[in-house]
Structure 1
């Protein structure tokens, strides 16, 4: 956060001066998801003061072009899409470049200063220090990032630079194939056995083995079993069918009879109500 970075800038260290506010602004911009900056480069002003050399957007690997072969440079890179060519992951890389023309004393100071600069820049997934720019190419950095992540997803059909995603086609084909198989399926509606059962017959709906207040025979009376075959043949009538089944179950509970007797009672009641409605209609016409 900005507060944490400010605390680091305020550090009074005899080894290195990192108090320039431009450093904080550059680091924040590179780490932010809402700004275009993808890299920042720091260098020395004098022997112990770090200053901002520049920032850039777009290709983060262009930061290496900012490195001077006669100077020490530090850089923070924001790298995206390193896991595979469809990935949007973000990784941060800390680079320390000691140019081949840098003197011995300046080289020696890097060992003591690098830790302070690293603390200033914050977390990174890969750190690279070298005096050869060949160690900081896009290929070299990407390889190190993949090794650091513990997996390389950019293999097989993902290999090469001309890869194009087929995810959309795969989804469409899978959906079409599923619909075809669904039409060919021989799975039909559940049909419960209709033949007479032995007196001691036990079905899964008897809830055998579970503690119940009511005996199994009473539980059977209160269980409504739909005729799935009839429902499948007349799907539009399903709500009415369920209503009739519920009425039958209610009638069975009210009279203490079986569900079949309850059906008969419910149907008789429905017939009476229909007859009464018809009579009322006739009287209204008269």
Structure 2
């Protein structure tokens, strides 16, 4: 068992999903260089910008992020994003296993609007992600300009 459904990870997941908690992201890393054991690495309240500072270029990691954006002056939407991070320096065998091992993470962090496969911190640009969320949500109040 990978540990993706550990009490610490599930508690952080609930915090990110809660409207009453300021936590808006969590980060999961592998507990060791080999094996599939996962652990909660960090949580925070600074959104995608803060999360990207915690990503490790030598690791594969998983993140879950709450993204809020305005559709218009009257309404705000909340969506959730699953990030599968594979840093440039990640070892080949770890990269190869992420597609298999990410299944346990997807199951534990089940509710998300989109999945972002990130290899570079530029893949986590908030404007691009909000544009993808608008498309995934079906309603586009900006004529496709995100």
TM over 0.5: yes
Q: Does structure 1 retain, via aligned residues, the 8 Å contact 2:16–2:65?
A: yes
Q: Which residue of 1 aligns with 2:22?
A: 36
**Alignment equivalent of 2:6, drawn from 16, 20, 24:** 20
Q: Is 1:89 equivalent to 2:70 in the alignment? A: no
Q: Could you say which structure has the higher helix fraction?
A: 1
Query: Which is greater in Rg?
Result: 1
Q: Is 1:131 equivalent to 2:119 in the alignment? A: yes
Q: Does structure 2 retain, via aligned residues, the 8 Å contact 1:68–1:99?
A: yes
Aligned residue pairs: how many? 143
Q: Is 1:52 equivalent to 2:40 in the alignment? A: yes
Gap change, CA 1:96 and 1:85, over 3 Å in 2: farther
* CA apart distance, 1:85: 5.1
Residue segments in structure 2 that go unaligned for 5+ positions in a row: none
Q: Is 1:119 equivalent to 2:112 in the alignment? A: no
For 1:60 and 1:120, the matched residues in 2 are separated by 20
Q: TM-score, normalised by structure 2?
A: 0.88
For 2:46 and 2:103, the matched residues in 1 are separated by 28
* CA apart distance, 1:17: 2.9
Does 1 or 2 have the higher relative contact order (CA < 8 Å, sep 6+)? 2
Q: Deviations over 1:44-100 (max 9, x none)?
A: 102211111111114344212211000111111111125345422110000001000
Q: Which residue of 2 aligns with 1:270?
A: none
Q: Which residue of 2 aligns with 1:77?
A: 65
Q: TM-score, normalised by structure 1?
A: 0.47
The secondary structure found in structure 1 opposite 2:75 is: coil
Gap change, CA 1:126 and 1:85, over 3 Å in 2: farther
Aligned CA RMSD, in angstroms, stands at 1.9
* CA apart distance, 1:133: 1.7
Gap change, CA 1:100 and 1:28, over 3 Å in 2: same
For 2:42 and 2:73, the matched residues in 1 are separated by 29
Q: Could you say which structure has the higher strand fraction?
A: 2
Q: Does structure 2 retain, via aligned residues, the 8 Å contact 1:26–1:40?
A: yes
For 2:5 and 2:136, the matched residues in 1 are separated by 32
